[in-house]
A and B are shown apart, each in its own frame.
Chain A
């Protein structure tokens, strides 16, 4: 209900966000916390580059370097990239399919708070005796030997946030399966929704192995189990398998939504229907499918045997085919289009060569004998940064510009956006391109320093300068955000002017019920169709105006997550013979399960927005739109 009121006190706003089940507000929460962790991970990256700036540097000690490196990877993957993508999924994909909300608003909120508390827990390790230091892959043979509680922060934190991600995945799957507007068939879904769908399916099937693996790690380290302890009959390779059975699909969980964002951008700013929509959809599904059959290419040097290596090498090369299909479809979408080089479009165009470079080095590593040479060298570091930064981070930056008006109702500055782009783009290639050669010259990854006689000085120095460029780009982006928020120039439904899908047919930001009337979808790019047919309203409706049922907000998700957060401390200090550990563990779990029970015993049927309220709200929206139009005309004079 709360979203109706316009002006609220600070405390009321905070409470509103703590209890919200509205997917648009949860998207904002994801964006803010994901953005925060992105900055944390960025600072860690800068520390790494400062340390490697020159030979024999002693800026960080070897131990601290391991911690920084581990936390950089873990934070960027689990706490920055995924949540920010989940922010866009939350903000946009329910709107794209014409839904009033997601399938499980309560669980949506629970998913966010679990992620949030997991991330906070993981980062508290810095202040409570040291961060994890076994790399983001946390290989068991290293992790079991690690002293202190760093690894426990890793495994417990990721367990909590992993549950959150799994919940988010199920939520999107059900939303897309069940809640599409009339006429929105699967083959009319916008590509971002399709990639959300496939990425969620990957989350659904890839997170359980990670959870199981991490559970083993927790039990081995804290409760005396022997899954990975070789002297007790265990096997450390089991961890590697579970990690990569999860880890490889994880790459696609990240990159598919990125592909989705770019697909939207190419179509919007080329003012053309996506070329080869069907092929793009099937390529997306195929990538998701193959994603589960290639994990052992991360383990070629483990010694799985020639048969296993050959099978996985072949499967890995095959996966380049659907990716290639996508690249060509995007190029052909641009070709002959009426292109406008807005900030999102610049990112999209820059993405193609960057990502292709990362893909090509990926195929190189698929050749198992060559991988024996490249393994654990800076070539690998360069490769996955080309894929993750060149693909995912560019998409995140592009998506931030593209969807900012839809999420906040105001546009980021194009001018500053271009500055960000150039700094970031140049810095990115400066940092990582040269690392290919460092790898070929023999520099191993994850070393805290190198000698002056090894001939790696210059290239490392160049790489560090590139990182500085990226940092400047991100700082400009922050300035841009602050200035945009301060100026707060409101925009209308379709600020880019060429929106094609349903989210651009409703106000920015949309009312909390999204669509006063459920739209009727008459084809691919429904809003574009209506625009072309001169429909002033931008939508045809599938139902008459009537009461809308909406869910109540709830504080319970926060409490459930808090309980798990508390329980994790109990579990972690259990082995230290701390008297308070067991009560804290039990108490935390009691909070979690107690609040779950409260949730299930209470009748919570939500509330109705009446027809009269909708009409009144619609009048307000119309009034604001007219004021905006008037303002624009005034500005032009």
Chain B
């Protein structure tokens, strides 16, 4: 594989992410990793459901009393939108339009950072109310589930940023196209997990 090979939109393959054997391997391997991640998050969800509202006798916190929907709604909208902007980035990647791709990735990263900021604000707020990580089984399970998702967001953002900086001068080639594609895939998966978090943790939490 020649890194210096220059592509134009006319010579750029239809599926650059799977055009090389390395790309194909990364692609399949990454999907398998997502399958494993599915089980990981299922384990965390299962634990959360088993430990929801469970704590020492006289615990003052419950999901119904704690969670506030407006904040969660804002976070959900931001993350959903960032999923769409990463679709735009990949759309431009397939058209071999590097600048547009970088721009859309930049927007995705900004939205992701906004989401992360809100999540940190939320956690900070709960901790100030006295709902710390070691407060109860419920708090441990809640922070571990949502926090693991948050850690995935951090990792996804770092990945996007590293790719953008690293390839800013290089442009698109067969070596990094699969990486951009997979980072976007990862971002969608983060969104999938969030859909279940806002449904199972927050919405079902609020109704008790």
A residues adjacent to B (C-beta < 8 A):
103-104, 166, 170-171, 173-174, 177-179, 204-205, 207-209, 211-213, 215-216, 219-220, 223-227, 229, 231-235, 238, 242, 245, 549, 597, 600-601, 603, 605
Contact = CB atoms under 8 A, between A and B. Distances in A.
A233 B137 contact: yes
Contacts of A219: 140, 144
A178 B56 contact: no
Contacts of B33: 170
State the 10 A-B residue pairs at the shortest beta-carbon distance, nearest first: A233-B54, A233-B137, A224-B134, A225-B140, A212-B43, A233-B55, A234-B137, A208-B40, A103-B25, A208-B39
A232 B136 contact: yes
B162 A104 contact: no
Contacts of A601: 162, 166
A183 B206 CA distance: 57
Interface of B: 1, 3, 21, 24-25, 28-29, 32-33, 35-37, 39-40, 43-44, 47, 50-51, 54-56, 59, 133-134, 136-141, 144, 162, 166, 175
Contact of A204 (B36, B44, B47, B140): B36
A171 B51 contact: no
Contacts of B136: 226, 232-233
B162 A178 contact: no
A502 B51 CA distance: 53
18 contacts: A170-B33, A174-B28, A177-B28, A179-B25, A204-B32, A208-B36, A208-B40, A211-B40, A212-B44, A227-B137, A227-B141, A232-B55, A232-B137, A233-B137, A235-B50, A238-B50, A238-B51, A605-B175
A235 B137 contact: yes
A173 B34 CA distance: 14
A215 B51 CA distance: 16
A242 to B, nearest CB: 6
- Tell me which of B50, B59, B139, B140 has the highest count of chain A C-beta atoms within 10 A of its own C-beta: B140
Contacts of B144: 215-216, 219, 225, 227
B36 A166 contact: yes
B25 A178 contact: yes
B39 A227 contact: no
A178 B55 CA distance: 49
A234 B54 contact: yes
B110 to A, nearest CB: 22
A209 B40 CA distance: 6
Nearest to A605: B1
Contacts of B24: 178
A233 B37 CA distance: 27
A209 B25 contact: no
B158 to A, nearest CB: 9
Contacts of B37: 208
Contacts of B1: 549, 605
B29 A104 contact: yes
Contacts of A174: 25, 28-29, 32
A207 B47 contact: no
B134 A226 contact: yes
B21 A231 contact: no
Given A205-B35, A212-B40, A235 B51 contact: yes
B51 A103 contact: no
A229 B134 CA distance: 11
Nearest to B165: A601
Nearest to A245: B43
Contacts of B162: 597, 600-601
A227 B140 contact: yes
A181 to B, nearest CB: 13
A226 B39 contact: no
A233 B138 contact: yes
A465 to B, nearest CB: 44
Given A225-B144, A601-B166, A605-B3, 11 more contacts: A103-B28, A204-B35, A213-B43, A219-B140, A226-B140, A227-B141, A232-B137, A234-B137, A238-B47, A245-B43, A597-B162
